[in-house]
A and B are shown apart, each in its own frame.
Chain A
């Protein structure tokens, strides 16, 4: 790292630390090593068209929300095509823009659907188990379900994109609470949230167009935020800043990985928001990204990134940097 780059990192960290929004990891750790790249543009089995979301199962199977093709595809951890289900439509089991997915402790897949305003739950083989519309939530449900996560206890959380909020549901699917309110700058305000993760009993929200990550308790209290100066939600391209933070993942050590969409890179933080590493740049070469949307961490720590604009998945070695 050059002297000027290091100076920028230190400045950001000092300002953020003073504001009590993030800690500081000091110098950055080396980027994870690229392991493989897979996927080609198209609609044939195994091909991808505008993929957005990704989830890796406990056995390493990789599920991709192949959004432009309105289907879910499954791959081995090495990228071999295993199967697909779903097609365009409004009927149960069909999709209108599946955006994100998560896998619960039973191995069931939860698919958030932007155009369908619902979350559909499937077996790994694609058999539909149930549909959550959220109609008992205030306002009568979702307006574009963009992101989804299931807690260890089976509670469902959905990023409700156009309503600028997260909706929480009990294990039986009944509505529990609203997390976040529409707005900018202030803690707890959300502006087009797109992805969710669960970490240490707290909810991690990709507050996409506030250009920040926010942490909430399960009851909706905003406890931390970062991204740009003071976590106020200003877009930027410096270390620790985001230009539309669309995707988030958490590894076994509690480190938080963020898909920094318009900066064409991934940033890794401690669970408290101290920056650990940055990797990627705009392009279509190996290790480069064209607007990454989401990522997930495999059971062995591998990092799977959805390279949206290149219609491919890139896999990186487990991150060897600092922990929480």
Chain B
């Protein structure tokens, strides 16, 4: 009971720690089987209904969908998943650019608090495996963002989407 209470307080503190400008910046989704304009414009319609989504561009030829977000939005990965499901599709891959607040993870690595409703475990690819993000990469992320506080902009593929705290596989900075 005491442990649960501590966990709840910790999570509360984490979420409270979201900076005012923490938010999704952009996203790129891929869905399978998209070839009809009725479906493409349907996905566009459903995604535009998500709070915080500012613009949607659907590329019929390769099933790619590019999203832009309003500043200070509170969107979540689940919001995007639900919208795409309402249009009759499933997200096959999701790449996000997120502005957020870095916190130390409980098991090493870092947590990116992207909004009051969304946080990610930051990981990176090393060889064949995916590992918690290293302190070196974190330092480079902070430097690239040029912020003196702990806010950073991270781009990466979203993994473990079913988890409460999905992973964000941070792309190498030179790949952006």
- Interfacial residues, chain A to chain B (CB-CB below 8 A): 50, 52, 67, 96-97, 99, 114-115, 144, 146, 161-162, 192, 194, 208, 244, 246, 261-262, 291, 293, 308
Q: Tell yes or no: B45 within 8 A of A by CB.
A: yes
Cβ-defined contact, B41 with A67, below 8 A: yes
Cβ-defined contact, B37 with A67, below 8 A: yes
User: Which residue of A is nearest B44, CB measured?
Assistant: A115
B54-92 contacts to A, CB under 8 A, are 60, 86-88
Distance, CA A162 to CA B85, complexed state (A): 12
- Interfacial residues, chain B to chain A (CB-CB below 8 A): 35-38, 41-42, 44-45, 48, 60, 86-88
User: Which residue of A is nearest B40, CB measured?
Assistant: A50
Cβ-defined contact, B35 with A161, below 8 A: no
Distance, CA A293 to CA B41, complexed state (A): 14
Cβ-defined contact, B38 with A192, below 8 A: yes
Cβ-defined contact, A144 with B35, below 8 A: no
Chain B residues, Cβ within 8 Å of A67: 37, 41
Distance, CA A284 to CA B60, complexed state (A): 17
Distance, CA A308 to CA B88, complexed state (A): 22
Known: A97-B41, A262-B35. 18 other contacts (CB 8 A): A52-B37, A96-B45, A97-B45, A99-B41, A114-B41, A114-B42, A115-B41, A115-B44, A115-B48, A144-B41, A161-B42, A162-B42, A162-B86, A246-B38, A261-B36, A291-B35, A293-B37, A308-B37
Chain A residues, Cβ within 8 Å of B86: 162
Cβ-defined contact, A50 with B42, below 8 A: no
Chain B residues, Cβ within 8 Å of A52: 37-38
Report the minimum CB–CB distance from A268 to chain B (whole Å): 22
User: Which residue of A is nearest B48, CB measured?
Assistant: A115
Cβ-defined contact, A208 with B38, below 8 A: yes
Chain A residues, Cβ within 8 Å of B38: 52, 99, 114, 144, 146, 161, 192, 194, 208, 246
Report the minimum CB–CB distance from A235 to chain B (whole Å): 12
Distance, CA A208 to CA B42, complexed state (A): 14
Chain B residues, Cβ within 8 Å of A96: 45
Distance, CA A50 to CA B36, complexed state (A): 11
Distance, CA A308 to CA B36, complexed state (A): 10
Distance, CA A67 to CA B41, complexed state (A): 9
Cβ-defined contact, B37 with A144, below 8 A: no
Report the minimum CB–CB distance from B68 to chain A (whole Å): 15
Chain A residues, Cβ within 8 Å of B45: 96-97, 114-115, 144
